Amino acid sequence: MANIMLCDDALFMRSAIRKMVEDAKHTVVAEVGNGIDAIETYNVVKPDIVLMDITMPDMDGIEATKRIIASDPNAKIIIVSAMGQMEMVIKAITAGAKDFVVKPIEGDKLQFCIRKYM
């Protein structure tokens, strides 16, 4: 099972994702609400997978993804965002994200993504 870090500025969304992750027997090792905290926390907890939103205060998920990948090229980041336009998907993958899941999240789709990168 995977150790997962959640990064989303909406507490209700983190709670919903946490439930999906824990229902699938994975462990949430950290939750953060912005990109700056995501970078700092990633370097401390070294999760197996990061589930990252795009639109957040202080630093967005695309920039946070770039910086995490720069410090750890093996990081596995899955973007989880309501912004599913092709341009955003391309930016996320170019930044180093492994995959992109569009909100509202379907539990089965999220679990498939997590298993794919474990």
Main-chain dihedrals φ then ψ at residue 36, nearest 5 degrees: -65, -45
Q: How confident is the model at residue 86 (pLDDT cuts 50, 70, 90)?
A: confident
pTM: predicted TM-score of the whole model, two decimal places: 0.95
* Domain 3-104 annotated CATH 2.60.40.10: no
Judge whether residue 77 has pLDDT over 80. Answer: yes
pLDDT for position 84: 65
Domains in the chain: boundaries: 3-104
pLDDT for position 85: 74
pLDDT for position 58: 93
pLDDT for position 54: 93
What secondary structure does DSSP assign to the chain, as a single string?
--EEEEE-S-HHHHHHHHHHHHHTT-EEEEEESSHHHHHHHHHHH--SEEEE-S--SSS-HHHHHHHHHHH-TT--EEEEES---HHHHHHHHHHT-SEEEESSPPHHHHHHHHHHT-
